[in-house]
Amino acid sequence: MHIVTDFAVLIIEFAIVEGSFIKISLLFLRLTFFWMGTIKKIAVLTSGGDSPGMNAAIRSVVRTCAYMKIDCVGIYRGYEGMIEGDFKEMDARSVNNIINKGGTILKSARCDDFRTEKGREKAHKQLLKAGIDAFVVIGGDGSFTGAMFFNQEFDFPVIGIPGTIDNDIFGTTFTLGFDTALNTVVEAIDKIRDTASSHNRLFFIEVMGRDVGHIALNAGVGAGAEEILIPEENLGLDRLLDSLKRSKKSGKSSSIVIVAEGDKTGKNVFELKEYVEEHLPIYDVRVSVLGHMQRGGSPSCYDRVLASRMGVKAVESLLEGKTNLMVGVQDNKLILTPIEKAIKGHTKIDKELIRVSEIMTT
Ligand code: F6P
Please give the share of the chain, as a percent, with pLDDT higher than 90: 85
Averaged over 16-29, what is the pLDDT?
Answer: 55
127 contacts 43 by C-beta, under 8 angstroms:
yes
Give the pLDDT of residue 104: 98
The predicted model scores a pTM of 0.90
Distance 212 CA to ligand 1 centre (A): 11
Lowest mean pLDDT among 176-185, 188-197, 246-255, 350-359: 246-255
Instruction: Give the pLDDT of residue 346.
Output: 83
Tell me how far the alpha carbon of residue 208 lies from the centroid of ligand 1, in angstroms: 7
Please give the number of the atom of ligand 1 that sits closest to the Cα of 262. 8
Burial of 249 (0-12, 13-18, 19+ CB in 10 A): exposed
Q: Which is the CATH superfamily of the domain at 180-295?
A: Phosphofructokinase domain (3.40.50.460)
Mean pLDDT calculated for residue range 37-59: 96
Residues 6 or more apart from 51 whose CB is under 8 A from it? 163, 164, 165, 175, 176, 177, 178, 180, 181, 295
Q: Would you state the pLDDT for residue 25?
A: 59
- With 70 as the cut, is the pLDDT of residue 178 above it? yes
31 has a pLDDT exceeding 60: no
- Contact between residue 327 and residue 313 where contact means Cβ atoms under 8 Å apart: yes
- In tens, the pLDDT along 229-245 reads 999 998 899 999 999 99
Report pLDDT for 3: 47
In angstroms, what CA-CA distances link 30 with 27, 117, 139, 310? 5, 37, 28, 18
Minimal-distance CA residue to ligand 1 atom 1: 49
Helix (H) or strand (E) holding 61: helix 54-67
Dist. CA 343 → ligand 1 center (Å): 17
Interval 1-18: pLDDT, tens:
344 445 555 555 555 555
Q: Is a pLDDT exceeding 60 seen at residue 133? A: yes
Ligand 1 interacting residues, C-beta cut-off 6 A? 49, 164-166, 208-210, 261, 295
* 168 CA to centre of ligand 1 in angstroms: 12
Q: Three-state SS for 247?
A: helix
Whose C-alpha lies nearest to ligand 1, atom 10?
A: 49
pLDDT above 70 coverage of the chain, percent: 90
When pLDDT is averaged across residues 45-51 and rounded to a whole number, the result is: 97
Distance, in Å, from the CA atom of 261 to the CA atom of 263, rounded to the nearest integer, reads 6
CATH number assigned to the domain covering 38-177+299-344 = 3.40.50.450
Tell me, what amino acid is at 116? T
CB neighbourhood size of 283 (10 A): 18
Q: List, for residues 289-319, the tens digit of each pLDDT value.
A: 999 999 999 999 999 999 999 999 999 999 9
The answer to whether residues 115 and 123 touch, using CB atoms and an 8 Å cutoff, is no
Ligand 1 atom having least distance to the Cα of 164: 1
Question: Which residues are designated catalytic?
Answer: 166
Range with the lowest mean pLDDT among 29-38, 41-50, 176-185, 269-278? 29-38
- Report the C-alpha gap between 125 and 2 in whole angstroms: 24
Nearest residue by C-alpha to atom 8 in ligand 1: 210
